[in-house]
Every structure is written in C-alpha cells, then in structure tokens.
Amino acid sequence: MKAIHVMLKRVFGVAATALVSAGLIQANATEPCGDFGECKVLIEINSSDGDIGFHWLGDADDLRAMRITDPNGAKVFENRGFGPLREQKLTETFGESAEPLCWPDPEADPEDLEDIVSLRDFRDIWEPGYYVFRGKGDGGEKLFGETELTYDLPGAPQDLDFDGSMITWIAGNDLGNCAPLADGDGQETIPYVLDIIADPASVAVAAFEVVMEPDVDDGAVGNLKYTIRVPGDTFAVEVPSLYLASLPDDTPVKIEVGAIGEDDNATFTEEDGFCVNEVVGCPED
C-alpha cells in the first residue's frame, strides 16, 4: 500500500505540473537573471494563521558560493559548499525565513506573541527594490543577477469550500489576519498600511495554487498531497477521483488556496473540517 501511495503522489505531482505548464498565465521567477539561470525574492503570507515570511531562489550551474544583498547593499544571505559538496558544487538554492506572527493571535503561545512582526515591521526589515545575487563559479568566474522585491500583495482567497469533488473559492480584497479590512483583534488594517503596500484588491493574480492534504499525523496517508496551479481567472478545481479514492474511509482533509501575484508574492488561505470518503464520519478535533 505504501508503494501505491508513493506512486500516486508522483503521478499527481506530474499531472499538476503538466496542467500548470499548459496555463496561459502563470507566475515565474526572474529568468534568466543575468548570469544566473533564475533568481527570485518574494513575500509569502498565510492569511489564516497570520504569519509572514521572506523567500528566495537562486539557480546556476557549478556554483561554489552565492550571496544576496538588499537594495542598500547589505548582505542578507550567503552559502557555500565544503568538503564533498564543494567538490560536487552547488546549483539551485531555495530558502525561506522563519514566519513570525503578524498579529496578536489570542490563541498563540506566549513566546510566539513576543516575536510579532507586523506588516509595517516586515516592510522596515525587507525593503522593496532590487536584490542582487552574486555567485562564484567553479572556475572562479563571478556571476551577477538581480530581481525586484515589491509589496504588491494579492488579496487572500475567500470562501474556500469543497463539495466532495470540487474545490472553490473567490478572490479576496485584504490580507486576512495580517491586514484585514476592519480591525477585529488589534491588527493593522488595510487602510492603515496602504502607504506601504498596494491595495490587495487591485493586485493582479497571475495564478492560484490549490492544495488538498489529509489533516492527519505524518505518515503514509499524511504525506499524500494534491497540488496544482491554475490561471488567475480560475475559481474552481476538480480534485481527481483517483486521488480521492487513494485516501482511506473517513479521512479528514484541509484545503489551501494561494493567490500568486505577477511578482510571485503569495497570499494563502487555509480551511479545514472537510471529510473525504465518509462512512461513519471523520473524528472531531
């Protein structure tokens, strides 16, 4: 059974990639990026949990080291290989920062509340502008590329639903718990932050990333995910029946939909409480 699950995971990953490639509109990293094959810096928000992070990607052949500097020239990331990794060399490097809360979540652990980074705080830390990628190749050659970080953050998808076969949602107009339209729990609101970000309701969505996964502990079933990207004018995805059939009876699942902007900034929304292949019913939390 485990082998079947692994095979299905690979099949659905390939299928999702194929459908994404067929889309007419999709978000992409800066490609090419000067001497790099591609590079990108972006902002990712989880509007449901209310957290925010900085992500980056750099890709080139036979690298010994890579460095990223911000618009002020300050180094924000550096990596290099040592020992056998130095001999085999580096290619693609992807990373993401920790994702602190952006709001005073009343259900959060006290230690998490000590490290809140509001959207305005985040903007002060990660300035918009061009981030420069520098690398050192195997022969000592120097590589250079740059990509832009913007604060064009797409609105968080809303009204996520699953009817047993279709995942649906609608476009959003705020950033959820990181910046709602109205203040419910002490958050910064959209009107308060429009001096540092574009209005999320007006930010074009290049693609939506849709994820379904079992809401269970890690394991053979917990590792099964269905993921796909679709064009930004799509608001429904049919989950393949083969994937659903691969899940056991009474499997709780959660769904996640992310709005991906033209600059690759992403705002995700999560919803749980769905039950797949229901016989006696999924367990309550």
Write the single-letter amino acid at 212: M
Residue 20 has pLDDT above 50, yes or no: no
Give residue for tokens 């690979």: 10
Domain 2-27+151-276 -> CATH class: mainly beta
**Region 179-198: what's the mean pLDDT?**
88
CB distance 277 to 241 below 8 Å: no
Closest to 154 in 3D by CA, of 121, 202, 210: 202
Of the ranges 63-72, 153-162, 183-192, 206-215, which one carries the lowest mean pLDDT score? 183-192
Closest to 248 in 3D by CA, of 209, 215, 205: 215
Q: What is the pLDDT of residue 9?
A: 38
CB distance 160 to 168 below 8 Å: yes
Burial class from Cβ neighbours inside 10 Å (0-12, 13-18, 19+) for residue 72 reads: exposed
Domain boundary assignment for the chain: 2-27+151-276, 38-149
Q: What is the pLDDT of residue 285?
A: 63
Residue 25 has pLDDT above 80, yes or no: no
Q: What is the pLDDT of residue 184?
A: 61
| Stronger pLDDT, 241 or 28, i.e. the higher one | 241
pLDDT-based confidence at residue 30 (cuts at 50, 70, 90): confident
CB distance 276 to 48 below 8 Å: no
Residue 254 has pLDDT above 80, yes or no: yes
Reported as type and span, the H/E element at residue 94 is strand 93-96
How far is residue 65's CA from residue 89's CA, in Å, rounded to a whole number?
9
Which residues is 147 bridged to in the sheet? Answer: 131
pLDDT-based confidence at residue 217 (cuts at 50, 70, 90): confident
How far is residue 155's CA from residue 188's CA, in Å, rounded to a whole number?
15
pLDDT-based confidence at residue 75 (cuts at 50, 70, 90): very high
Residues 45-65: pLDDT tens digits? Answer: 999 999 999 999 999 999 999
Residue 173 has pLDDT above 60, yes or no: yes
CB distance 87 to 138 below 8 Å: no
Q: What is the pLDDT of residue 183?
A: 73
DSSP helix/strand/coil, 239: coil
How far is residue 274's CA from residue 252's CA, in Å, rounded to a whole number?
6
**Region 167-180: what's the mean pLDDT?**
97
**Region 199-227: what's the mean pLDDT?**
94
Domain 38-149 -> CATH class: mainly beta
Give residue for tokens 């939390």: 285
How far is residue 167's CA from residue 237's CA, in Å, rounded to a whole number?
5
**Region 263-270: what's the mean pLDDT?**
98
What is the residue-averaged pLDDT of the chain? 89
How far is residue 145's CA from residue 19's CA, in Å, rounded to a whole number?
30
